[in-house]
Amino acid sequence: MNTALAPETTAERYGINPKLLIDHEPPPLLDVGPPDRKALIEKAKGRVEDFHRLRDLGLVNKKGDFYPSVHYPPIVMYPPMTDDELLAGYKLPADGMVDVYAHIPFCNSHCVFCHYPVKLGPQLNEKSRYLEAFMKETDIWCQKLGVDRIKARSVLVGGGTPTFLTLDQCRRFLDGFCEKVDLSLCRQFNYDVDPNTLIGPEGSKRLAMLREYGVDRLTIGVQSLNPTILKKMGRHHGPQEALQAIKECMDAGFIVNIEFIFGYPGQTLENWLDVVEQACNLGVHEIQLYRLKVEAYGDHQGAVKNYVAIKPEEAPTNEEQFIMKQSAIQMLAHYGYFENLRRVFSRRRGDYSVYAHNQCCVQFDQIGIGLTAFSSLRDRFALVTQNFDEYYAAIDSGHLPINRGYIRTPEDQARWAIVLPIKNRNVRPANYRRLTGLALDEVFRAKIEALKSAGVMREDERALELTPLGAFFADEIAQQFHAPDFVPYPPSDYEDGPLNPYRNQELFS
C-alpha cells in the first residue's frame, strides 16, 4: 500500500476557498442575427432630446460635460490625514471581514487616456522593492487592526498592470498576499489585466498561476478593437492580441469582463458600433463601457487633454457621445446583455464584480493596500500617497502610507449612503438604516420627489432606483445628493430649473 501523502496544493497551503477554483462557463451565445443598425441609431438619437430636457431642468451641466461620481465626497477634495486619525475609534465589523484592494503601479508604457501615476518599463529592482514594501504595509494593517491575517470577503488586484510582473515576481506577490490575506471565505478574487501579458507561452503560465491561487475573474483592458483607435490610444497591443487574450482567459475558466472606452478622438458612431458588435459576439461574461474622461479626476493629468487641444476636430461632441452610449446599450440589449452594475453589462444576473458590488452597493468596509489605493471604513475614508518615495518612507517608519482622508459627519454619511448605491444599482431601506441609522423614506424627500417627477427615479418598498433614462445620467443624479461644497461644477454651470443640484439640498425637507 502506498502511504505517501499527495503533495499539498497551493490552495490547500493557504486555505483558499475551493469555490474560487471552479471553472466558469460563459453564457451560451444567443442565436440572433445582427440588429437593424439604422433603426437602432435613429432610436438612440432620442437621448439627445432627453439631454436637452434634463439640461433645461438643471440636472445635467449646460455643456453636457460630466464628472464621474465614484466616491462621496469626491477624493480630490480630501484634507491631509494620518493613520492614527483614520483608525481612532475604528473596530472591524463583527465578522471581521473586509473587501481588499491591492495596487501594482507598473506598466509597459503610458496610454494616452490614462490619468494614473505608474512607473514604466521593466523596472526589475523597483518592482522588487515595491513588493517588499507592499508586504510590510499589509503587516502594518494587521498590527493596527490586531489580527494575524486580513479576512477577505472579496479581492481586487488592480493597477497599473498587475500582470506586468515577471512570473517569479508574480508568484512572490501571490505567496506573500495569500499568507497575509485569508481567502477561506472569499467570494471572488479579481485581477485587472492587459492583453499582452496573457498571451504566448509566458501568458499561459501566468494564467495558470493565477488560477492556482484562486483568481477567478479577470477584467481585461481591451479599450477598442479598432487598430487605428488603439494606436491613437497609445496601447501596446492590437486587436489580434486582445482577441487572443480573451480566448485564452475564457478557455482557462475565468469569469471574463472586457473594458472599452467611447468618445475617443477618431471614433465615429459606425466604427464604435462595429467594436461593440464584435464584443457582443465573443461570448464573454461581462462588457464594461467608459465614457472618455479628458480632464483628470485625480492628481495626474493624462496626455489625452493635450491631444484633444491639438486636434479638437477628432473629438466626438457630447451629443455624439450620448448617441454612441445609447446605441451601444441597445446593441448590447439585442445580444442579451443588460446593465447589471452601472456601466457593466452581462447576460446573467450573477455575473458581476463582487468587489464593486460590495464597495458601491452594500458599502461594506474595504481596505486598500499599495500606492494610490483607498480604504473605506464605515464612516471614514483614506487614500494612499501617489508618490513612490513618500510611500516607501512611510512604510519604513512603521506607518500606513496614507496621506489624505476624511471622516464623514452624520450628514455626509447620509449622503454617501445614497450617492454610491443610487449611482451603481439601488438604495435598499434596510441597508440605508444599517449605514446611517436613518429611515430612507424620511430623507431628501423634496429632492427625490423632483427626480421622480422628471421620470429619472422610482421607488417602492424594496428599493429606490433609477429608471432607464435616469441610469443614462447616473453620475448627475448621484450628484443631486452632494452637499453644496461638493457639487462638481459651480451653480452658473447649471440651468436654474427644479433639478439644479444646488436646490433642495437639505437632508430633512
Output 68 or 253, the one with its CB closest to ligand SF4: 68
Q: Is 261 in the site for ligand SF4 (CB under 6 A)?
A: no
Work out whether the CA dihedral 503, 449, 338, 38 comes out positive or negative: negative
Q: Are strands 366-369 and 189-193 parallel, antiparallel or unpaired?
A: unpaired
455 contacts: CB under 8 Å, gap ≥ 6: 467, 469, 470
Output 206 or 415, the one with its CB closest to ligand SF4: 206
**Longest CA–CA separation in the chain, Å:** 85
Q: Is 159 in the site for ligand SF4 (CB under 6 A)?
A: yes
> Taking CB under 6 A as the rule, which mask of x and - marks residues 164-193 in contact with ligand SAM?
----------------------------x-
User: 5 exposed, middle or buried (CB, 10 Å; 0-12, 13-18, 19+)?
Assistant: exposed
Helix (H, G, I), strand (E, B), or coil: what is residue 167?
helix
Q: Is 118 in the site for ligand SF4 (CB under 6 A)?
A: yes
Q: Of ligand SAM, ligand SF4, none, which one does residue 144 interact with (CB within 5 to 8 Å by kind)? A: none
- For residues 248 and 220, give the distance between their C-alpha atoms in angstroms, rounded to a whole number: 12
Q: Is 464 in the site for ligand SF4 (CB under 6 A)?
A: no
> Which of 41, 70, 104, 114 lies at the binding interface for ligand SAM (CB under 6 A)?
114
Q: Is 221 in the site for ligand SF4 (CB under 6 A)?
A: yes
Output 130 or 444, the one with its CB closest to ligand SAM: 130
> Which of 71, 153, 180, 293 lies at the binding interface for ligand SAM (CB under 6 A)?
293
Q: Is 351 in the site for ligand SF4 (CB under 6 A)?
A: no
For 314-425, list the strands marked E by DSSP.
Answer: 338-341, 344-346, 366-369, 374-377, 380-384, 402-407
Output 271 or 431, the one with its CB closest to ligand SAM: 271
Tell me the Ramachandran region of residue 211: left when phi exceeds 0, alpha when psi lies from -120 to 50, beta otherwise.
Answer: alpha
Q: Is 99 in the site for ligand SF4 (CB under 6 A)?
A: no
> Taking CB under 6 A as the rule, which mask of x and - marks residues 178-197 in contact with ligand SF4?
----------------x---
- For residues 428 and 444, give the distance between their C-alpha atoms in angstroms, rounded to a whole number: 15
Q: How far is CA 504 from the centre of its chain?
A: 30
Query: Which residue, judged by CB position, is nearest to ligand SAM in the bound state?
Result: 221
Q: Annotate 135-147 with DSSP letters as a single string.
A: HHHHHHHHHHHT-
Q: How far is the CB of 262 from ligand SF4 (least distance, A)?
A: 15
Residue 422 cell numbers, joined: 443610487
Tell me which stretch binds ligand SAM (CB under 6 A): 289-297, 345-353, 427-435, 467-475.
289-297
Q: Which of residues 436-475 bind ligand SAM (CB under 6 A)?
A: none
Q: How far is the CB of 454 from ligand SAM (least distance, A)?
A: 27
> Which of 116, 307, 364, 481 lies at the binding interface for ligand SF4 (CB under 6 A)?
116
Q: Of ligand SF4, ligand SAM, none, which one does residue 261 interact with (CB within 5 to 8 Å by kind)? A: ligand SAM
Q: Annotate 449-499 with DSSP letters as a single string.
A: HHHHHTTSEEE-SS-EEE-HHHHHTHHHHHHTTS-GGG-SS-GGGS-SSTT
> Which alpha helices (DSSP H) does 182-238 contain, by range?
200-212, 227-232
> Which of 17, 138, 154, 223 lies at the binding interface for ligand SAM (CB under 6 A)?
223
The H-or-E segment that residue 242 falls in is helix 239-251
Residues in contact with ligand SF4 by CB under 6 A are: 107, 110-111, 114, 116, 118, 159-161, 194, 221
What are the residues binding ligand SAM (CB under 6 A)? Answer: 111, 113-115, 158-161, 192, 194, 221, 223, 259, 261, 290, 292-293, 302
